Amino acid sequence: MTLRSYVTSRVLLMIPMVMLLLTLVFVILRIIPGDPALLHFEKGVDPVVLAEFRTRLGLDKPILEQYFDYLWGIFHGDFGISMQDYQPISTHLFGRFPATLELSIYSILFAVLLGLALGVKASKNYDTTTDHSIRLFSIVTYAIPVFFLGMVLQFIFSIWLGWLPTGRRFPGRYTPPPTITGLYTIDSILAGDLFSLVTSVTYLILPTITLGTILCGIFIRFTRTNMLETLRMDFVIAAQARGLSNGTVTYRYALRNAFLPILTMIGIQFAALLAGAILTETTFSWPGLGTYLVARISRRDYTAIQGTVVFFGVLVSMLTLFVDILYAYLDPRIRL
């Protein structure tokens, strides 16, 4: 199979998956509850107000028409109108997305680097105390709720010791760097603003460590298993028998071969990453998609919940697709 036909088939396969997902969310949030408008008001409401509310949100149309409007909207990047302020949800989503993106990128980087380092270390010291300690660490990180770890770190480093700031991305009394990408660290570098860079990094440290630590457990375990398998393969031993150095064998042979499955793992972890990001953002009041979602849950803003959930779904599908294509590009057995 050539790379091109692989990519085509992957994209074609993604379309029904995304469609299914969108339908699922629509069913869960529009059809099952019966009338989200009534749910929104919780207590009794004047029928006239209710009717107007429905008309403004388009909830008075037949359900099938609503469904196609919804699909058509998403296709155009329109995720509906909020029940709270009648604003398009996409404005909020696109405005807050860079914050989530920044946190996610650094967290996954932290998780992958720590995971690779510890995983390789564990596999090279197979069945020793080092190995067991690393494995235990990875199991413990799996069992900690991400927000609990966040709270503990927040308490120790910002409330108790006062070393690092917490809450939001940037102190309110300063202007953040001019928006180019929306990622404060990148924007400050582009603007050549050292102060902004340092400030945004100090705000990033705790959330990144929190989310990264929770995610790294799976990478440790996965790297370790894959390295152990690869280190036992004939070609690795054959490389040793040809007198290649230990470093070459570990990193250029074993790790490079073990890295492809790890790459797939990164793709699978995007879902966990975003789920963790919601909780981490809430813990640190990080103004991203997660805090938006949580705020809308407390306001019973069902259209906004639906829009955000769908946004997350589409985002994860695209990221997964991207990783799959990257995988195909990197593996010579697929790339022909």
Partner 1 sequence: MDRTKLISGVFFQLIPTKETFENRSGKWWFALLALVGLALIYISGLILVAVGSNSGIGLQVVAGTFVIGLLVLVSSAWRRWMVEQEFLTKKRAFIWFIGFCVIIVIAVSVASFAVLPAAALDLWFALVSGGFTLGFACLLLYDFYPVLKERGNPGLAVTAGILLVLSIVYMTFISYWIVPHDPFTLDVGLPLAPPSSRTPLGTTELGQDLLSRTIAGGAIMLQVAVVSVIVCFIIGVPTGLAAAYRGGMVDRVVSLVMDSIFAFPGLVLAIAIAAMLGPGIINMAISIAVVYVPSYYRVIRSQVLSIKELPYVEAAVVMGARDWEILFQYILPNALPSAIVVLSINFADAILTAAGLTFVGLGFPIDIADWGYDLTAGWGVLIIGKWWLMVFPGIMIVLLALGFTLAGEGLSEILTPKLRE
Partner 2 sequence: MTNALRIQDLTVEYKTRRGVARAVDRIRLSLEENRTLGLAGESGCGKSTLGRAIMRLVPYPGQIADGNIYINIDEDIPCKEGDIPKGEVDITELNEEQMRVLRGKEIAYIFQDPMTSLNPMLTIGSHFVQMIRAHDPEIEKEEALDRGKEVLEGLGILPERVTDYPHQFSGGMRQRVMIGLGLVLRPRLLISDEPTTSLDVIVEAQILEQMAELKKKFNLTMILITHNLGVLAQTADDIAIMYCGRLVELASVENVFEAPQHPYAQALLLSVPDVTKPDKKLVWIPGAPPDLVDPIPGCMFNPRCPMAMDICKTQVPPLIESETGGLVACHLYGGK
Residues that bind partner 1 (CB under 8 A): 16-18, 20-21, 24-25, 28-29, 32-33, 39, 132, 135-136, 139-140, 142-148, 151-152, 154-155, 159-160, 225, 228-229, 270-272, 274-276, 278-279, 282-283, 293-294, 297-298, 302, 305-306, 308-309, 312-313, 316-317, 320
Q: Could you tell which of partner 1, partner 2, none binds residue 164, using a CB distance below 5 to 8 A set by kind?
A: none
Q: Could you tell which of partner 2, partner 1, none binds residue 56, using a CB distance below 5 to 8 A set by kind?
A: none
Closer of 63 and 191 to partner 1 (Cβ): 63
Please tell me the count of residues contacting partner 2 according to CB under 8 A.
Answer: 25
At closest approach, how far in Å is the CB of 109 from partner 2?
A: 23
| One character per residue 101-130, x = contact with partner 2 (rule: CB under 8 A) | -------------------------xx---
At closest approach, how far in Å is the CB of 192 from partner 1?
A: 34
Q: Could you tell which of partner 2, partner 1, none binds residue 245, using a CB distance below 5 to 8 A set by kind?
A: partner 2
Candidate segments 19-27, 139-147, 247-255, 286-294, binder of partner 2 by CB under 8 A = 247-255
At closest approach, how far in Å is the CB of 245 from partner 1?
A: 25
Asked if residues 102 and 183 have their Cβ atoms less than 8 Å apart, the reply is yes
* Residue that is written with structure tokens 């299914």 in the block: 20
Supply 86's token pair. Answer: 């009648």
Applying CB under 8 A, does 234 fall inside the site for partner 2? yes
Q: Can you tell me which of 2, 8, 245, 285 binds partner 2, judged by CB under 8 A?
A: 245
Q: How far apart are CA 289 and CA 205, in angstroms?
A: 19
Q: How far apart are CA 316 and CA 313, in angstroms?
A: 5
Q: Can you tell me which of 21, 101, 151, 244 binds partner 2, judged by CB under 8 A?
A: 244
Supply 14's token pair. Answer: 């993604």
How many Cβ atoms are within 10 Å of 57's Cβ, its own excluded? 20
Closer of 173 and 333 to partner 2 (Cβ): 333
Q: Can you tell me which of 163, 174, 256, 297 binds partner 2, judged by CB under 8 A?
A: 256
Identify the bridge partners of residue 88 per DSSP, sorted by sequence position.
Answer: 81
Applying CB under 8 A, does 174 fall inside the site for partner 2? no
Q: Could you tell which of partner 1, partner 2, none binds residue 244, using a CB distance below 5 to 8 A set by kind?
A: partner 2
Q: Could you tell which of partner 1, partner 2, none binds residue 246, using a CB distance below 5 to 8 A set by kind?
A: partner 2
Closer of 228 and 266 to partner 2 (Cβ): 228
Q: How far apart are CA 109 and CA 129, in angstroms?
A: 27
Applying CB under 8 A, does 233 fall inside the site for partner 2? yes
Class of residue 184 by CB neighbours under 10 A (exposed 0-12, middle 13-18, buried 19+): buried
Nearest alpha-carbon partner for 288 in 236, 231, 211, 233: 211
Q: Could you tell which of partner 1, partner 2, none binds residue 130, using a CB distance below 5 to 8 A set by kind?
A: none
CB-based contacts of 198: which residues, under 8 Å, 6+ apart? Answer: none
At closest approach, how far in Å is the CB of 5 from partner 1?
A: 20
Applying CB under 8 A, does 241 fall inside the site for partner 2? yes
Residue 88 has φ and ψ, to the nearest 5°, of -60, 135
Q: Which residues bind partner 2 (CB under 8 A)?
A: 126-127, 232-246, 248, 252-253, 256-257, 331-333
